[in-house]
């Protein structure tokens, strides 16, 4: 009994990191997931992880409260690193909507509560289904489990002062926009060619009201191209998942002081 009570502080630290991770991770961070489900899943997942780990013994003192803050920050940062690149899908949809003229018709995303472009919402939901189908959420949960190899419970600080962390975040922000551009370039490039063709028609047939004719042509062409390249987009999304896992590992290496 005394041994069980002595392990409660370590278990609470695990619960803090896991539940903080759920606040930022794709899918589980959405508003449509009940908070009771998130707390319950975090508790039982922490219990499983606790029995599979060799945890040190802690005493509840002033240093322990600092460890709680550190665990919450670690969970948030790891979840943010995964969610940041996943946002590339929505950014790609925003670039496509801008070319199609759909950017004026943003909708409220029930998952995040923010305004989202139409195509971005469609691509995000499709990517979520693809993530669940390929068991990518299992890999994300494995990421938080193996985070204790890089950032142990008894590590008292995070290496924020290291310039590698800022450089790594900047590189991944740039990577997010690069991935969004690569995913949207088939549709955006095709619509650009349609714009060139409409410009030529407007110069050769000035009697034609190109503004009335051009909008439906761009929408129809964009939707057809999007339907054609959807398989390629899902292939890019699968590559995005592997990049997210690699990024999470490298990010944990840096904040753990081993990278």
How does pLDDT run across 106-120, given as a tens digit for each residue?
666 665 556 667 777
Is 60 a residue whose pLDDT tops 80? no
Residue 100 near residue 222 (C-beta atoms within 8 A): yes
Instruction: Give ∠ CA 155-159-162 in degrees, rounded to 5.
Output: 160
107 forms bridges with which residues in the sheet? 116
pLDDT tier, 257 (very low <50, low <70, confident <90, very high otherwise):
low
Mean pLDDT of the chain: 79
Domain containing 228: what range? 2-255
Contacts (Cβ under 8 Å, ≥6 apart) of 99: 187, 188, 191, 192, 218, 222
Task: Express each pLDDT in 73-106 by its tens digit.
Answer: 888 888 887 787 778 888 888 888 888 777 666 6
Question: Nearest CA to 186 among 239, 225, 217?
Answer: 225
Q: What is the pLDDT of residue 147?
A: 81
The pTM score is 0.77
Statement: residue 177 has pLDDT above 80? yes
Q: Is the pLDDT of residue 1 over 60?
A: no
The count of structural domains within the chain is: 1
pLDDT at 215: 78
Q: How far apart are CA 14 and CA 46, in angstroms?
A: 6
DSSP state of 102: G
Question: Is pLDDT above 70 for 227?
Answer: yes
pLDDT at 107: 60
Band the pLDDT of 3: cuts 50, 70, 90.
low
What percent of the chain has pLDDT above 90?
0
Phi-psi region of 116 (alpha: psi -120 to 50; beta: other; left: phi over 0): beta
- pLDDT over 80 at 44, yes or no: yes
Side-chain-side CA neighbours of residue 120 (13 Å): 29
């Amino acid at each position: 009994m005394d041994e069980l009570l002595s392990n409660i502080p370590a278990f609470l630290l695990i619960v803090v990191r896991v539940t903080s991770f759920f606040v930022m991770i794709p899918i589980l961070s959405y508003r449509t997931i009940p908070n009771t489900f998130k707390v319950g899943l975090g508790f039982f997942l922490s219990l499983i992880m606790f029995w599979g780990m060799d945890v040190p013994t802690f005493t509840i003192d002033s240093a322990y409260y600092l460890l709680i803050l550190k665990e919450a920050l670690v969970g948030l940062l790891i979840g943010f690193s995964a969610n940041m690149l996943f946002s590339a899908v929505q950014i790609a949809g925003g670039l496509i909507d801008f070319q199609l003229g759909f950017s004026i018709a943003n909708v409220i995303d029930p998952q995040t509560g923010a305004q989202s472009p139409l195509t971005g919402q469609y691509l995000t939901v499709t990517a979520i289904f693809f993530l669940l189908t390929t068991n990518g959420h299992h890999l994300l949960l494995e990421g938080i489990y193996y985070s204790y190899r890089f950032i142990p419970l008894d590590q008292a600080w995070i290496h924020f002062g290291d310039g590698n962390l800022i450089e790594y975040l900047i590189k991944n922000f740039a990577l997010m926009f690069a991935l969004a551009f690569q995913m949207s370039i088939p549709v955006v490039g095709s619509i650009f060619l349609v714009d060139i063709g409409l410009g030529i028609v407007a110069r050769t047939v000035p009697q034609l009201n190109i503004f009335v004719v051009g909008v439906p042509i761009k929408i129809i062409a964009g939707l057809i191209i999007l339907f054609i390249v959807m398989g390629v987009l899902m292939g890019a999304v699968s590559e995005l998942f592997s990049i997210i896992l690699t990024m999470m590992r490298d990010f944990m290496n840096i904040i753990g002081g081993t990278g």
